[in-house]
């Protein structure tokens, strides 16, 4: 009967690749909602010591501090968040894959070291 090591199961869960599309969608929705929410917050409450949100128009084409600007901000926030989430997940998966390849290669070399010593 085969015994399962809890450390092996935890390592398999940590090193499993993440879904780039799901992370992109989650980050896009979160960032889009944040930009839209901050815009609506500024429209409704008009805080005096708030930063100048109109500077977002430098990055998001068509953005302004208005109700329509909140929709434009949601769109551009979603696009920016999606790209950032997808890219970060891609890099994470790549780094984990490279590290796992290195660990596997080192383990295989360590196992075969004695074999080559006896030749």
115 φψ region: left (φ > 0), alpha (ψ -120 to 50), beta (else)? alpha
Task: Record the tokens describing residue 86, joined without a space.
Answer: 């997808």
**In this structure, are residues 100 and 15 in contact, taking their beta carbons and an 8 Å threshold?**
yes
Which residues in 31-65 are b (16+ Cβ under 10 Å) and which e?
A: bbeebbebbbebeeeeeeeeeebeebeeebeebbb
What is the residue-level pLDDT of the chain in tens, covering all 119 positions?
A: 455 666 666 667 777 889 999 999 999 999 999 999 999 999 998 888 888 888 889 999 999 999 999 999 999 999 999 999 999 999 999 999 999 999 889 988 888 877 766 66
pLDDT of residue 1: 45
Half-sphere exposure of 97 (CA within 13 A, CB side): 8
**In this structure, are residues 89 and 24 in contact, taking their beta carbons and an 8 Å threshold?**
yes
* Residue-by-residue DSSP string for 64-78: -SSHHHHHHHHHHHH
């Amino acid at each position: 009967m085969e015994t399962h090591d809890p450390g092996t199961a935890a390592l398999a869960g940590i090193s499993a690749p993440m879904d780039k599309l799901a992370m992109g969608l989650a980050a896009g929705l979160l960032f889009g909602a944040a930009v839209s929410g901050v815009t609506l917050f500024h429209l409704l409450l008009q805080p005096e010591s708030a930063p100048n949100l109109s500077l977002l128009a430098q990055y998001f084409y068509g953005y302004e501090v208005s109700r329509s600007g909140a929709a434009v901000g949601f769109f551009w926030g979603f696009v920016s968040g999606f790209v950032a989430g997808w890219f970060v997940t891609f890099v994470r998966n790549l780094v984990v894959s490279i590290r796992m390849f290195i660990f596997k290669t080192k383990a295989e070399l360590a196992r075969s070291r004695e074999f080559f010593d006896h030749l």
